[in-house]
């Protein structure tokens, strides 16, 4: 731990962190002796050399039209090529649009770049403002032949996590809960960095990955939690895995194939939670007109008649439906429960753990929890930390079989 005073681990882990080698084979190195702070040697994976904190690439805009991206910087900034050759120095950037055409792109008021990708580097660790949000780090801008522009924030992983934590959790929660969330977020991000090395960015800045609004949600307390867990990630048999999390599981988590239609990892096996009943969506009801359901289904390409009944099918111990059976005046429709939830709206049908009740023109959905229910239950971490459990214990509970390692 970089900050022993704020150690999050119980004595068992503090006795010696398992430092792993993220090699192609995933073979763990032997446990290092206590006090050995030699950085772990990390594979040929280019992002993670020499145990240094990696830089994550966060996509802010993908294929935006000319003028949509607006930049400003109070301090000076350099614009370079990808190879680092200086294109121009800017004393500061008054709010300016990034303009493009089919021949090239430019920052408003400046000459067109002669390359299709540039890096903006604020000097003296200053920040850049993109569409009203301030960001640490650098900004990669690229231009496609059809005149569209993409913007990617290059930022140290823990700096990114400081912004994520402020968006993803409630910072007044107990420290162990926040530490568990920070480690899960770092582990998720690291996994995506390794998976997406050949893509233009590692993560997007919304709920498709983790919500990141630059410095807007960053705070002293978020930074402190990230620092206490600096470089600590989850792994399973030496390999990083996508440490998914959701707001509240409603009593029982589910596996990745049920919750997310993704291949399973052992640490993403369902577990009983029992700690998230403080969430306001631990139990919920949602009434909706049958006609509206039919309209939503039609809009999604499923032509149906008058809705007669909707039933969740295949609810396992996790309470989640695998499929949803829809009876209507023209026949029957069977949909994957996750697809049905997305059609209804994930902020309304808050999970696939639900039952239905006919109420005339309306159908009432009664359900448990909010989110896909895979991996860590965020409200559950609050409940467990309030009951006195450590971050390590909480993570072991929600990711069975996973272990912690300090990789930078």
Residues at the site binding Zn ion, with contacts judged by CB under 5 A: 249, 273, 276, 377, 380
Q: Which is nearer to Zn ion, 55 or 273 (CB)?
A: 273
Report, in Å, the least distance between residue 384 CB and Zn ion.
9
Using the CB atoms, write b or e for 324-357: b if 16+ within 10 Å. Answer: bbbebeeeebebebbebbebbeeeebbbbbbebe
C-beta separation of 70 from 149 below 8 A: no
Distance of alpha carbon 200 from alpha carbon 62, whole angstroms? 10
Quick check: helix, strand or coil at residue 344? helix
Quote the least distance from Cβ 275 to Zn ion, whole Å: 6
List of residues 6+ apart from 218 with CB closer than 8 A: 162, 163, 166
Least Å from the CB of residue 176 to Zn ion: 16
Are 202 and 58 in contact, with CB atoms under 8 Å apart? yes
By beta-carbon proximity to Zn ion, the closer residue of 267 and 380 is 380
Q: What distance in Å separates the CA atoms of residue 316 and residue 329, rounded to the nearest whole number?
A: 29
- Give the nearest distance from C-beta 396 to Zn ion in angstroms: 15
CB nearer to Zn ion: give 17 or 249.
249
For Zn ion, the closer CB: 77 or 249: 249
Greatest distance between any 2 Cα atoms in the chain: 71
Quote the least distance from Cβ 379 to Zn ion, whole Å: 6
Shorter beta-carbon distance to Zn ion: residue 228 or 381: 381
For 127-173, where are the E strands, in sequence order?
Answer: 128-130, 133-135, 138-143, 149-156
Minimum distance, C-beta of residue 369 to Zn ion, in the bound complex (Å):
7
SS3 27: coil
**Smaller CB separation from Zn ion, 240 or 375:** 375
């Amino acid at each position: 731990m970089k900050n022993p005073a704020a150690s999050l681990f119980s004595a068992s882990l503090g006795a010696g962190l398992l430092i792993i080698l993220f090699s192609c084979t995933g073979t763990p190195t032997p446990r290092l002796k206590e006090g050995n702070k030699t950085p772990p040697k990390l594979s040929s994976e280019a992002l993670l050399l020499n145990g240094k904190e990696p830089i994550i690439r966060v996509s802010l805009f993908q294929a935006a039209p000319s003028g949509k991206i607006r930049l400003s910087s109070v301090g000076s900034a350099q614009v370079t090529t990808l190879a680092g050759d200086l294109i121009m120095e800017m004393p500061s950037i008054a709010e300016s649009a990034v303009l493009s055409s089919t021949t090239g792109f430019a920052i408003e008021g400046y000459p067109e770049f002669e390359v299709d990708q540039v890096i903006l580097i604020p000097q003296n660790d200053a920040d850049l403002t993109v569409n009203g949000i301030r960001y640490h780090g650098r900004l990669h801008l690229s231009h496609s032949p059809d005149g569209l522009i993409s913007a990617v924030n290059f930022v140290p992983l823990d700096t990114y996590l400081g912004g994520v934590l402020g968006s993803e959790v409630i910072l007044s929660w107990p420290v162990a809960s926040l530490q568990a969330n920070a480690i899960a977020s770092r582990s998720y991000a690291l996994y995506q960095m390794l998976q997406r090395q050949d893509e233009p960015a590692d993560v997007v800045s919304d709920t498709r990955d983790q919500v990141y609004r630059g410095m807007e949600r960053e705070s002293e307390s978020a930074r402190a939690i990230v620092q206490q867990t600096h470089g600590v990630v989850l792994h399973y048999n030496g390999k990083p895995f996508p440490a998914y999390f959701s707001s509240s599981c409603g009593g029982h988590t589910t596996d990745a194939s049920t919750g997310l239609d993704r291949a399973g990892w052992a640490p993403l096996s369902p577990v009983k939670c029992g700690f998230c009943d403080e969430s306001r969506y631990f139990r919920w009801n949602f009434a909706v007109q049958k006609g509206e359901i039919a309209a939503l289904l039609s809009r999604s390409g499923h032509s149906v008649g008058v809705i007669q009944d909707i039933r969740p099918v295949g609810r396992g111990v996790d309470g989640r439906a695998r499929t949803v059976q829809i009876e209507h005046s023209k026949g029957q429709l069977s949909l994957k429960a996750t697809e049905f939830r997305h059609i209804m709206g994930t902020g309304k049908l808050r999970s696939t753990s639900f039952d239905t009740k006919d109420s005339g023109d309306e159908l009432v959905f009664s359900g448990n929890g909010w989110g896909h229910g895979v991996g860590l239950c965020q409200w559950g971490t609050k409940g467990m930390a309030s009951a006195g459990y450590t971050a390590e214990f909480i993570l072991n509970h929600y990711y069975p079989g996973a272990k912690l390692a300090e990789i930078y």
